[in-house]
Amino acid sequence: MARIFRGLVIFAALGAGAAWVLSAPDVLPEGTLDGLTGDPLRGAAIFAVAGCASCHTAPDADYSLTPVLAGGQRFVSDFGTFLAPNISPDPVAGIGAWTDAQIVTAAMRGVSPEGAHYYPAFPYDAYGKADPQDMLDLVAYLHTLPAADTPSLPHDVGFPFSIRRAVGLWKLLFRSSDFVVQGELTAEQTRGRYLVEALGHCAECHTPRNLLGGLSRGQWLGGAANPSGEGRIPNITPGGLTWEAGQIAEYLKSGFTPEFDTAGGEMAEVVKNTAQLSDADRAAIAAYLKIVPALETAQGL
Amino acid sequence: MRPMIRLFTVSALTVVVAGIAFAQAALDPQTATDTRVAHMKLYGAQMGVLGGMAQGQTAYDAVAAQAAADKLVELTMVDQSTWWPVGSDSVSIADSRVLPIAWDNMDDMIVKATALGTAATAMQAAASVDLASLQGAMGALGGACGSCHETYRKPE
């Protein structure tokens, strides 16, 4: 009996040890940013594609003004309520005192300067596929924005999701290192894939999630439950979205559907961002959406 | 009562709220929903004419553009006082995509509807000037539609 117990203790200790090792926050490979400098003008375009302002401005901030990334918007999920933090250049409340590498590590690895995991409400799995040059440009742009001294508020997440370290195991299970759409792509489709799968993080809403909140990559962009409760986020594979490429690009520019209905819900906010892209980038997104594997409208979570 | 009636005619929007105050005159929720959906389609038809030209899908035709813009303004002025009964929201009626929060924010609905009226009137002034003017008025019009859809319409 004592031997069994001892065995269990050792087993549990080994398991905990393994979990501890496996859940360790990782960092960007050394030298990732060597020789690169950020260009704030290019960064403004990255900022628009990534839609940073949609989540990180204060609730009900006026979109027509220079974005003040004071944070405070609430994102309700099955795992708790996440509050977007202050990412303005304020040295105390925001990210003003962080190094470039710390900010890029936060975005591409989901790891804070203190070495803690961020919750995946922050789409770092998508940003992890971004070009480090683009990330540095983004950082340079962030530093040009107004500082706000609004303190970031804690997330409202219950046990066991409150264990930050466990997010490391989540990352192990669900973080992806490569793009979903593979094969021979034209330059335009490749650009579109980059915009949709990396910077634009479209799948965060348009792809269903499993019970642990990981994206079901087999149902890529096949539509999903609306995290805020009402209705569904549409299937934007060719199985659900039958618009011509030009119509998709126009929707991302003006918000008008081919029937001259307008974008609604969260997508209205997204179109404010995509409206700032170049025509070529909107066309690239459309070209990519045309080659995503067609799915019947997904009924996942 | 007479000043109240005059108020009703000021704009369709004021009437939205008045309609709630005088709920006995309201349509039943299903009919109200069907009526609103049909009205939205009428908006869409005019937007299709104007938007098709703005996007270069159809040739610019000043007469047709003006007719569509005039119709649009007319549509924004239709009396909707009986169209918004309590219980015609997206939770209560399958065909309805108006979120329940719309009824908690009727003041804001009216602000947004007023903005639509303003944008439609601006389009009315611009539509037959030239294509560039029409295109210039299109953004505000789309924005007016979108601002309500963003907040008060259920995703499909």
The pLDDT-based confidence of A16 (bands split at 50, 70, 90) is: confident
pLDDT of residue A299: 55
Sequence-separated (6 or more) residues with CB below 8 Å from residue A192: A284, A285, A286, A287, A288, A289
Please report residues of A whose CB lies closer than 8 A to that of B143: 255
Q: Please check the confidence at residue B1 and state whether its pLDDT lies above 90.
A: no
Q: Do A230 and B99 touch (CB under 8 A)?
A: yes
Residue A232 contacts B where some CB pair is shorter than 8 Å:
yes
Q: Please check the confidence at residue A193 and state whether its pLDDT lies above 90.
A: yes
pLDDT of residue A1: 55
The pLDDT-based confidence of B55 (bands split at 50, 70, 90) is: very high
pLDDT of residue A2: 65
Q: Do A265 and B146 touch (CB under 8 A)?
A: no
Q: Please check the confidence at residue A181 and state whether its pLDDT lies above 70.
A: yes
b/e per residue, A120-132, with b = 16+ CB within 10 A? bbbbbbbbbbbeb
CA B147 to chain centre: 11
Mean pLDDT for all residues in chain B? 87
pTM: 0.86
Q: Please check the confidence at residue A251 and state whether its pLDDT lies above 80.
A: yes
Mean pLDDT for all residues in chain A? 91
Q: Do B47 and A260 touch (CB under 8 A)?
A: yes
Q: Do A254 and B55 touch (CB under 8 A)?
A: yes
Residue A258 contacts B where some CB pair is shorter than 8 Å:
no
Give the ipTM of the model, two decimals please. Answer: 0.76
For A220-231, what is the mean pLDDT?
87
pLDDT of residue B20: 52
Q: Which among B48, B55, B149 is the nearest to A262, CB-wise?
A: B149
Instruction: Report helix, strand and coil shares of chain A as percent, to nearest 5.
Output: 40, 5, 50
Distance of residue B150 Cα from the nearest chain A Cα, in angstroms: 4
| Contact between residue B81 and residue B13 where contact means Cβ atoms under 8 Å apart | no
The pLDDT-based confidence of A19 (bands split at 50, 70, 90) is: confident
Q: Which among A230, A263, A268 is the nearest to B90, CB-wise?
A: A230
Instruction: Indicate the range of A10-14, A33-37, B8-12, B47-51 predicted with least confidence.
Output: B8-12
The pLDDT-based confidence of B9 (bands split at 50, 70, 90) is: very low
Q: Model confidence over A83-133: pLDDT tens digits?
A: 999 999 999 999 999 999 999 999 999 999 999 999 999 999 999 999 999
The Cβ of residue B114 has, within 10 Å, a number of other Cβ atoms equal to 16
Q: Which among B55, B139, B150 is the nearest to A264, CB-wise?
A: B150
For B125-143, what is the mean pLDDT?
96
pLDDT of residue B41: 94
Sequence-separated (6 or more) residues with CB below 8 Å from residue A99: A113
Distance of residue A238 Cα from the nearest chain B Cα, in angstroms: 17
For A27-42, what is the mean pLDDT?
91
